[in-house]
Amino acid sequence: MAEAILAQAGGDRFAAYSAGSDPAGFIHPLAIIALQRLDIPLPDSALSKSWDAYADESFDAVITLCDSAAGEACPIPPERGARAHWSLPDPAFHPGQESDRIELAMRVAERLKAKIKGLLAVDWSRPRGEIETRLRFFGEI
């Protein structure tokens, strides 16, 4: 969801990439539903992929999202981008009825929109430590 939201909100200013340690091989239907309800198009390039695909890349920022990812070792070395973690539940693993899971996916998507709005306002010319502090602040929204 974050990749699609940033792709729409950031326009040509940002290139968004999404990956994980254990990709499912498909875009989860809950993400598709939440994005459709927010009128956010799924990028044509969107697919479930491993973060190993980006192990040699450099980024301005690397942001982990799900709490399950917070403790995992990210293959992008710290010197290749500012780091932050935005603590969010993963709707795919939420117990309960489908309607509860859709409601959680919508809340997560709305929180991502708010966090990404803050990310768009970051002054990327500032020192890395200041950028990371700002990015972590958006994680508390």
109 burial via Cβ count (<10 Å: 0-12, 13-18, 19+): buried
Say which CATH topology domain 2-139 has: Rossmann fold (3.40.50)
Instruction: Convert the pLDDT of each residue in 92-126 to its tens digit.
Output: 888 889 999 999 999 999 999 999 999 999 999 99
Q: Looking at the predicted structure, is the pLDDT value of residue 20 above 70?
A: yes
Query: What's 53's DSSP letter?
Result: G
Where are the domains positioned within the chain? 2-139
Residue with tokens 């990749």: 3
At 16 the pLDDT is: 87
8 A C-beta contact, residue 139 and residue 87: yes
Distant-in-sequence, close-in-space partners of 133: CB < 8 Å, separation ≥ 6: none
* pLDDT classification of 47: cutoffs 50, 70, 90: confident
Residue scoring higher pLDDT (5 or 23): 5
Q: Region 60-76: what's the mean pLDDT? A: 72
* pTM for the model: 0.87
Backbone angles phi, psi at 33, to 5 degrees: -60, -50
At 72 the pLDDT is: 64
Instruction: Give the separation between CA 74 and CA 28, rounded to whole angstroms.
Output: 22
H or E element at residue 83: strand 82-88
CB atoms within 10 A of CB 141: 12
Residue scoring higher pLDDT (66 or 35): 35
